[in-house]
Amino acid sequence: MNDRPRVVVTVGPDGAVSAETRGVHGDRCLDYVAVLEDLLAARAVHSAYTADHTRAGVDLRQEEHDVDRA
């Protein structure tokens, strides 16, 4: 499975555009709405959070520690 953030855009037969973010956690999805509005020269009429909104993003950190050997 691909965990990279994605935006799935659908254009209906009437020209209506819908989009859904996938793999975007928390309020970061709102940044994608703004980008799509700019690209399409349009404004969002309806929006709702997906399950990814409440899923916690995982921050991976690599730490190095000195270990005293006895």
If one counts every other C-beta atom within 10 angstroms of the C-beta of residue 21, the result is: 21
Compute the distance between CA of residue 46 and CA of residue 42 in angstroms, rounded to an integer.
Answer: 12
Residue 30: strand pairing partners? none
Every domain of the chain and the residues it spans: 6-51
Give pLDDT, residue 22: 87
Compute the distance between CA of residue 26 and CA of residue 52 in angstroms, rounded to an integer.
Answer: 7
pLDDT tens for each residue of the chain, 70 residues long: 566 888 888 999 998 888 888 888 888 888 888 888 898 888 888 888 877 777 755 544 445 555 665 5
